[in-house]
Structure 1
């Protein structure tokens, strides 16, 4: 890769990172238009790397292109969200049922610590990512890498809407509530009771984000 190609690639990475942060932190709402002229000025890049970044974000399900109208933050219908949660439930149940008896909870504990830290600093993106990582680590305890990768793609799509609702929730709810929910789930996993884990997951508050 030449220096010019490397520089262009770096600009693409920059644009992907900045736009992904905006989308997953709730700074931009689902359906909000992404205007090239405004974005090139804000990011300080040309149209070529921006368009490549938009293409990559579309592959991740975060951006969608509308014929003759340009790009916008991806949207999900009520049915889409309901179906994604149904798939999430199926994957979680399979992961819990197939997890071995002896578990290394180091990574799950680290994810919980990150949730606590992000709650303390009020970093919405870090908090949303930490929530996602925690649940991914729960599923990863099954040892099934393909299942875990599929599960994470589902959570990224759901996070489009979770981010907006987390922003609204932060204005009215106690920030510690989210920490307590994940602490309960961690303790259920630590005790190794599959029925209890599934019960806590079902009460975890995820469907509050459907509102």
Structure 2
């Protein structure tokens, strides 16, 4: 890769990171138009890396391209969300059945530490990201990389849906509650008992992904 190609790729990564944070933090609303001219000025990049960033965000399910109308933040109907949760639950149950004791839990432990740190810092976006990373690491213990990749795309879309309610979710529950729930799930995984892991997941809050 040449220096020019590397620079262009770095600009794409920058745009993806900035726009993803805006979307998942609730700073931009579902359905809000993403105007190229405004974004190139705000991000300080040209149209080419911006369009590549938008393409990558569309692959992640965060951006939609509407014919003759441009791009917008993705929207999810109530039915979409219900289906996403159902798929998430199926994947979690399958992964729990394939998880056993004795696996390396260092990445899962690091994700739990991130949850604690984000809770202490009262950083809602980082907390949502840390929750997602923790659950992805639980599923990754199944050893099935394709399942893990699919699972993470589902969680990103759920996080998109929850982003607009982040403040309400934070006010409705004590911050420490989320830490304790993940600590209980970590302990279940550490023991390697599939039934206990599934029980911990089922009481984790079927519709409280960010809480």
Query: Which runs of structure 2 are paired with 1:38-117 in the superposition (5 Å)?
Result: 38-117=38-117
Aligned to 2:32: 32
- TM-score w.r.t. length of structure 1: 0.91
Change (3 A) 1:194 1:209: closer
Partner secondary structure for residue 65 of structure 2: strand
For structure 2, which runs of at least 5 residues remain unmatched after alignment?
A: none
Aligned to 2:154: 154
Aligned to 2:14: 14
Aligned to 2:143: 143
Calculate the aligned-residue CA RMSD, in Å.
1.9
- TM-score w.r.t. length of structure 2: 0.91
Distance 1:206 1:104 in 2: 27
Partner secondary structure for residue 65 of structure 1: strand
Is this contact kept in 2: 1:165–1:209, CA < 8 A? no
Is this contact kept in 2: 1:115–1:179, CA < 8 A? yes
How much does 1:209 deviate? 5.9
Partner secondary structure for residue 68 of structure 1: coil
For structure 1, which runs of at least 5 residues remain unmatched after alignment?
A: none
Q: Deviations over 1:21-68 (max 9, x none)?
A: 111222222222212222112111122221121111111111001122
Moved more, 147-156 or 159-168: 159-168
Distance 1:138 1:196 in 2: 13
Partner secondary structure for residue 201 of structure 1: helix
How much does 1:9 deviate? 2.2
Distance 1:64 1:180 in 2: 36
Q: Deviations over 1:72-112 (max 9, x none)?
A: 11111111111111111111111111222323322211111
Moved more, 86-95 or 195-204: 195-204
Is this contact kept in 2: 1:161–1:209, CA < 8 A? no
Q: Deviations over 1:94-133 (max 9, x none)?
A: 1111222323322211111110001111222221111011
Moved more, 195-204 or 132-141: 195-204
Aligned to 2:186: 186
Change (3 A) 1:101 1:188: closer
Change (3 A) 1:109 1:5: closer
Distance 1:172 1:95 in 2: 30
How much does 1:195 deviate? 2.0
Aligned to 1:168: 168
